Amino acid sequence: MLSSLNLSLQSIFFIVLALSVISGFLFLNPRVPLTYVRIHIGIIALPPIIAMSALVLQSGGTIVGPWSFDSLTWLLAGFVLTIGLIVQRYSVRYLLGDRSYRKYFVLLTLTTVADSLAWLSDDLRLLLIFWGVTLLGLTLLIGLRKEWQVARNAAKISSKQFAISWLILLVAIMWVTQSTGHCQLSLLLTEDSMKQLAAWEKTCINILLVFSVIIPAAQWPFQRWLLDSAVAPTPISAVMHAGIVNAGGMILSRFAPLFNGDPAQIVLLIFASFSVLIGTGMMLVQVDYKRQLVGSTIAQMAFMLIQCALGAYLAAIIHAVLHGLFKATLFLQAGSAVHQNGAVTRSPQPASFLWTITGGALGLVVGACFWITSHGETYQLISAVIIGWSVFYAWKQLVASGYGHIGRFVGFSLILLVGGGYILIHSAFINLLHEMIQTGGQPPILEAVLLLVILLAGSVIGLLSVRHRSSKAYALIYLWLIKLSEPGQDSIESHPTYLIQKEGNV
């Protein structure tokens, strides 16, 4: 009974996906009225509903031909399609009047559909094809305003870096399939198949995987494409978080048995650790709101890749999904940033020393309890430090700096509410995914400690520089981050020439 229900959901899912694509191409016809876009939105709402229904009803995992249906793949497909639906619904009015209005919806639909199919693919050839279509669709979206030279240049930069990433992934897949004799991921990742790989082959393949994912994740030194893409309309920046910039955690999680315990994890750890510091610095020095979000994305994607490098794939998937939803929302409300920043706010009350000490002790206790109950896993040391620091920071901002007893009570209640929500969401993800994501093969505890040292050292240097703003070190760091976070000259145009009519009148 349950298996027949799963089969029915799978069939319905592919049918509604096909209807979504057909609907998109139908809207491309200029004879179809613009009001049809609302019918199109209703059609593309069906696939994420089916995917989420299958996620709840799925029991175990099944392989049907070249497709893999389990809680992880259904979650990723549903996540991608949900963000695509939100972005397209937002774009109905936001992009109205744009000369490429119809093309935007077609490309948005094709990109998210291909992206969802990539994560459902058990056949590596299909995964490669659909991932390539996803990157191509994003490139076309970035450069859709062909009359604007800056948009064309941004698309050109993105296309070059995406092509390099895709070709590297192609080489990795060809290598691993030739060595193991399997094209299906489920067969390739069995213990017997991976024994056919020599140690050096496995490391080389994993290093190729690392470089294929850090490029779309905009990690240093490949952050240029994401900085330049800020010229694209805001919905395009939002849809990038539908399994594109955050695809690294998804790809590495699906290749977890191959990636675990390999020296390539150290390579990823180095690049990602450096990118956390750079992305955070970019976010702090930029005044452009969208580029602040870009810097934050670089840092967050780096942290997600650190989770993969430490073998915490479940945490990486949770991070990818929640961050994708959160950051897409921030991009979609970017237009209201002027009002938010311009609003008159009351200056914060100085934090009480006693309350601050209390918050520090509470954060230390929470972090220690988390570490003690985590069975000594490597990544959990990082998590314990982050959770402890988050509790302390939240306490300082919401309780220690609260206005009177009522302000402190509200702040404390908010901390309890958010903490409870975090526990519930985290538990739900664990119940859904714990059987589908392999862990183990984590780096030694020393590497986690070294990672903490690198991040803390970078933070301390930054704080010391900020406190001595007149120093030469502060000026050098500040100007270097400004230069690093600015797009190329060919991606900047203060007065877009495509707005000027041929007669020379504006």
Convert the pLDDT of each residue in 276-305 to its tens digit.
Answer: 888 888 888 877 777 888 888 898 898 888
What is the reported pLDDT for 287? Answer: 76
Show which of 71, 90, 121 is a domain's final residue: 121
Candidates 56, 30, 26; CA nearest to 43 is 26
Give 216-229 pLDDT, tens digit per residue: 998 888 888 888 88
Mean pLDDT of the chain: 80
Distance of CA 167 to the CA centre of its chain: 21
Question: Do both 57 and 161 map to the same domain?
Answer: no
Distances (CA, A) of 413 to 401, 416, 421: 14, 5, 12
* Residue 461 located in a structural domain: no
How far apart, in whole angstroms, are the C-alpha atoms of residue 425 and residue 268? Answer: 28
The structural domain count of the chain equals 3
Question: Do both 200 and 319 map to the same domain?
Answer: yes
Question: Do both 182 and 294 map to the same domain?
Answer: yes
* 237 pLDDT more than 60: yes
Question: Do both 55 and 106 map to the same domain?
Answer: yes
* Residue 459 located in a structural domain: no
Instruction: State phi, psi for 503 to the nearest 5 degrees.
Output: -75, -5
What is the reported pLDDT for 233? Answer: 83
Residues, the chain: 506
Question: Do both 366 and 478 map to the same domain?
Answer: no
* Residue 258 located in a structural domain: yes
Question: Do both 219 and 279 map to the same domain?
Answer: yes
Band of pLDDT at residue 343, cut at 50, 70 and 90: very low
Instruction: State phi, psi for 227 to the nearest 5 degrees.
Output: -65, -45
Question: Do both 167 and 115 map to the same domain?
Answer: no
How far apart, in whole angstroms, are the C-alpha atoms of residue 460 and residue 349? Answer: 25
Question: Do both 417 and 485 map to the same domain?
Answer: no
* Residue 458 located in a structural domain: no
**Range scoring the smallest mean pLDDT among 120-124, 375-379, 385-389, 403-407:** 375-379
What is the reported pLDDT for 99? Answer: 82
- Enclosing domain of residue 412: 352-436
Band of pLDDT at residue 180, cut at 50, 70 and 90: confident
* Residue 339 located in a structural domain: no
* 141 pLDDT more than 70: yes
How far apart, in whole angstroms, are the C-alpha atoms of residue 442 and residue 260? Answer: 7
Half-sphere exposure of 362 (CA within 13 A, CB side): 18
Question: Do both 101 and 208 map to the same domain?
Answer: no
Candidates 385, 286, 387, 289; CA nearest to 337 is 289
Band of pLDDT at residue 500, cut at 50, 70 and 90: low
**SS3 at position 146:** coil
Question: Do both 293 and 411 map to the same domain?
Answer: no
Q: Which two tokens stand for residue 477?
A: 């760091």
Question: Do both 375 and 410 map to the same domain?
Answer: yes
What is the reported pLDDT for 503? Answer: 43
Question: Do both 247 and 290 map to the same domain?
Answer: yes
Show which of 421, 436, 451 is a domain's final residue: 436
Candidates 113, 116, 106; CA nearest to 23 is 106
* Residue 309 located in a structural domain: yes
* Residue 133 located in a structural domain: no
* Residue 62 located in a structural domain: yes
What is the reported pLDDT for 504? Answer: 46
